[in-house]
Structure formats: C-alpha cells, structure tokens
Structure 1
Amino acid sequence: MNLRTLMVVSDPAISAYVAAHGVDRLFVDLEWMGKAERQPGDTWKSRLTPEGVSAIRNAAPEAEMMVRVNPFHEGTHTEVDDAIARGADVLMLPMFRDAETVARFRDMVAGRAGIMPLVETKSALGAMPEIAALAPESLYIGLNDLHLDLGMKFMFQPLADGMLDDPCASLRAAGVPFGIGGIARVGQGAIPAEMVLAEHARLGSEWVILSRGFHDRAASVSDLEMQGFGAAVQALKDYAAALTGADDLDRRHDEFTRTVGDLVARL
C-alpha cells in the first residue's frame, strides 16, 4: 500500500517544514459556511483568510497545495478563481449531496486545477457511482461530518459497519484515487492507527489526513522537531507499505469492527 498524506496547515513556516518531511499534499482550509453549526464541539474550524493561501504558497513554492473552499453557493466561482490565482494545485469541494454539484464544480474549475470532492453526506455516499463516473483526479471521504449526517456516535462507525465497502468499490472500478478520514501516529489513537491503516489497505484507499493528535497541535517548527515529526510520518508510510494479504486484512477488519463496537458501547 503506497500511502500518501495530507495535513491541514495554516502557518507558512510549518507548511514548508512538513512539505519537506513527508507530507504529500498541504491542505489549506477556507471553509467556514455552516461549519460551527454542524460541528459544535472541539473540531477543526478554519480561521484562515485567502491571503493566507498566498503566504503558504510563497513559503512552500514546490509543495502540492490543496485549498478547501466553502460548500457550493453563489460565490463559489469567485472563491475558485481566487484560490487558483493564489497557486492552488487542487481544490476540495465540501458538503455536496449529489453528482450534479460535483459536475458543476468540475466545469467551473475547467481543468485549471485538480479537484478532490469531499464526500461527507449520506446522499453523496449513495451517489458514489455517479460521482466516480465524473473521473475527478481524486476524492476524499470525510468521516467527521459523514458520521454526524448518518446519526452515528463515532466517526469510524461508517467504516466499521461496512457502509464504505460498495462506494469504495465504485471508486476502484473507475480508477479514482481516494482517501478516508484522519489518522494518529503508529501506536496511538482511540482506534489504533495500525487498525485504521489496515482498513485503508482493505478498501484500496491511498490518502489519509494526519490528525491534530498526530502533530499534537504543533504551534511551531521547533514543536514538530521535538516530536520527531518526520520520523513519525515515515513510520506511518512504512507500516502501510508492509500491509499485504487479503485474508489477514479480513481478519483485521473483524478486529477493527469489534474494537469500534466496544468503544461506541461505552459512549
């Protein structure tokens, strides 16, 4: 399994550092519309301005940079044009509910950047075959908003319950690279990162977002250095690369399902 990593960044110096230490795609977040209402707890909420996109691009000119815009609305075209002008290589569209919206977004981008639709609603998950047929450069399944939209208690429940198996099969059949959720360091996490990586391997996922816990909400490059950030990213990729064997992955899925079920029972 050739794992590729994303990391949400807002600080230019940190962006340059992580891009040089194993992060494959910088994730610059401009989404704010409806976020606080959907996720009232302690979840990531961007405070970045469009000017921050330029600052990150200037700090890491060679890095691949993805910008998440707001959900599709009357100002989306302006947001798309501005993000591309500031150097975005990929644009992420959140909180859509059908393939038609993805098609409109793709046409709006018009090949000037890649697109990575973010599937985080029940209806979008159900429309995965139609979305895959649009052949986006990549796609992401966001477990945080998705589990809330499904009325579940814990973000890994859709993965444990098998709800992603058929949608991921549609993506594999269409040849669309995709990613799922966030991940902690090897040996860490409410659900151990090793279990989560086995699910990525089983489903054919190629991308994962490094969680805030992965870098302990580092506020500076020195924080990341003290944490051994680069070595931790490499350990994650090394573990993923060693995952082989369909039978073993099925066994690991059963273990993952039991572990998630036990955690949900305690919530």
Structure 2
Amino acid sequence: MNKMRLMCITNNVELALVADEAGVDYIFIDLEIIGKVERQGHLDTVISKHSISDVSKVANVLTNSQLLVRVNPIHENSKKEIDNVIEFGASIVMLPYFRSAWEVEKFIEIVNGRAKVFLLLETKEAVESIDSILEYSSYIDAVHVGLNDLHLSYNMSFMFEPFVSGHLEFIVDKLNDKSIPFGIGGVAELGRGDIPSELVLNEHIKLGSSMAILSRSFTNESEYKNQKGFLEAYRSKVIAIKKHISSLGGEFCGESSILFKKLVNEKVG
C-alpha cells in the first residue's frame, strides 16, 4: 500500500493548524456549491459553507500540509474562480462533478500548470467517458473517487455499494493503467462509521488507494464541551488512525474483506 494521505475538510484556522501538526497531508477548502444542495440535500451529509477568503487565511498558517481547494464544476466564471484560489495560495485545485473530457480539458487549460490538478470522479457519465478523460493523464496529478455522488449517480442505495458492485475495480484498473495516484471517499475515526473504518481501510489496501478524507466523526465539534477539548480529541484521533494505517503495513486481509462485503450487502438489502 502506498502512503495513505489524509485530507481534513475545514476552513477553521485553528483546526487547520492542529491537522497540519498532526500529520494530515491535505487541508481541504471546499468552495463547491453549484448543484450540490439539489444532489445531496436529502442526505445526512455536510454541505460546506467555505468562502474564497478562507483560502488565504488557511494558506498563511500551513507549514507541512498542502492546501487543496475544491472549486465548482466548470461554469461561466470558472476562470476567475480558479485564478483567485491559485493567487490566494492553493497548491492543489480539485474539479468536482465533471461528466466529460471537455470539462477536464478546460480545467487543465485554466490551471495551466500553476497548481496540481486533482479530479473528483463522481458521476456515471465520467466513468463511461473515462478513456477519453484519461487521454489527459499527463496533466492529472491524482483522482479522488467521490462515493456520495457516485452512488447517487448509479441510483444505488448505500454509499459503499460501489466497493462491491464492480464499479470501483473498473475505475481503479483504468487509473492504474495510466499510473495515476487515487483515493476513495472518506474514512471515519477508528471504530466508527456506517462500516467500521478498519474494514474500509482494508478495502483501500486491496485496491491500492492512497488518499482518504477524514469524515464528519473527526470534525464534529458539537460532541465536545469546548473547542480546546475538540482540538485535543481531533489530534488524538488523527494520530490513532495514522498509527493504525502504519500497523497494517500494506497487508490486505481477506477475512476483513469478506466481512466488509457482508455488511455492505446487508445495508443494500
């Protein structure tokens, strides 16, 4: 297993500092809003309310982590938006919810080598167009597979269903053919999640994934009496999951994978 790079979605400067010190690889500012409420508003998911001003605020405090900014899907003001996030300090720009090679080409053209290019692959149409999209592989630094929107795009009932449906294996094979690093969805703190995070991480090892977003269980401040307690707990949870990942040593466990599939299939019904 390649090094598992962890992402923290936050515009909170104090949390970004703690994540940076705890070894989180990417601090993730989320500017995507176009169409997102319509797609995910009925789900128990977090719709971020980050702003362009958050980019420079967070960029200015980081010393170890890279700043990743998810912009909106390609739209009439994409050039201005992407120019701004790069100017304000983004080292990685992520394109979400694309469906075609044209959108990827346009995104790469606007970024123009000024930042790393990450794609968030999360639509059925993008999967069906993956060969033409990957014609631009030399300009793509990484691909992250977004499970929330991907499972909705295929009318699936459970977020982890793409792990057992064959869709992820298809995507991963295509990315591996082009030697493009990739990540998949998010991971909860140890012992938590709709599927226990330990089992999810085992599937990452199986597929060769090298990135995961730290999910809501890491950043749900409402569970704590004050921000100090929250930040201390966050640091501990990140350190714990990093130690767990290191202890796995890239070794895939077949028994854990069988249990994972069983639990997913039970959720699917």
Q: Could you tell me the TM-score, scaled by structure 2's length? A: 0.91
112-121 vs 128-137, which moves further: 128-137
Distance 1:130 1:254 in 2: 34
- Is 1:222 equivalent to 2:225 in the alignment? no
Equivalent position SS for 1:179: strand
Amino acid at match of 2:89: G
**Number of paired residues?**
262
- Is 1:111 equivalent to 2:113 in the alignment? yes
Counterpart of 1:34 in structure 2 is: 35
Where in structure 2 are the equivalents of 1:161-172 lying within 5 Å? 161-172=165-176
Q: What's the RMSD between the two structures over aligned residues?
A: 1.9
166-175 vs 20-29, which moves further: 166-175
Where in structure 2 are the equivalents of 1:22-171 lying within 5 Å? 22-41=23-42, 42-60=44-62, 62-135=64-137, 136-171=140-175
Q: Could you tell me the TM-score, scaled by structure 1's length? A: 0.91
Gaps of 5+ in 2: none
Equivalent position SS for 2:185: strand
Counting aligned pairs with the same residue, the percent is 36
Gaps of 5+ in 1: none
Q: CA deviation at 1:26?
A: 0.5
Distance 1:23 1:245 in 2: 22
The answer (yes or no) to whether the contact 1:129–1:171 under 8 Å persists in 2 is no
The answer (yes or no) to whether the contact 1:198–1:243 under 8 Å persists in 2 is no
Where in structure 2 are the equivalents of 1:166-245 lying within 5 Å? 166-217=170-221, 222-227=228-233, 229-241=234-246, 242-245=248-251
Q: What stretches of structure 1 move > 6 A for 4+ residues in a row? A: none
The answer (yes or no) to whether the contact 2:23–2:65 under 8 Å persists in 1 is no
Amino acid at match of 1:87: G
Equivalent position SS for 2:217: coil
Q: CA deviation at 1:63?
A: 3.0
Q: CA deviation at 1:244?
A: 4.2
Amino acid at match of 2:141: E
Q: CA deviation at 1:178?
A: 0.7
Equivalent position SS for 1:31: coil
The answer (yes or no) to whether the contact 1:28–1:65 under 8 Å persists in 2 is yes
Q: CA deviation at 1:193?
A: 0.5
Distance 2:129 2:242 in 1: 31
Q: CA deviation at 1:67?
A: 0.6
Can you list the C-alpha shifts for 1:83-121, whole angstroms capped at 9, x where unaligned?
A: 000000000111100222112211110100001110110
Counterpart of 2:267 in structure 1 is: 263
The answer (yes or no) to whether the contact 1:198–1:240 under 8 Å persists in 2 is no
The answer (yes or no) to whether the contact 2:56–2:88 under 8 Å persists in 1 is yes
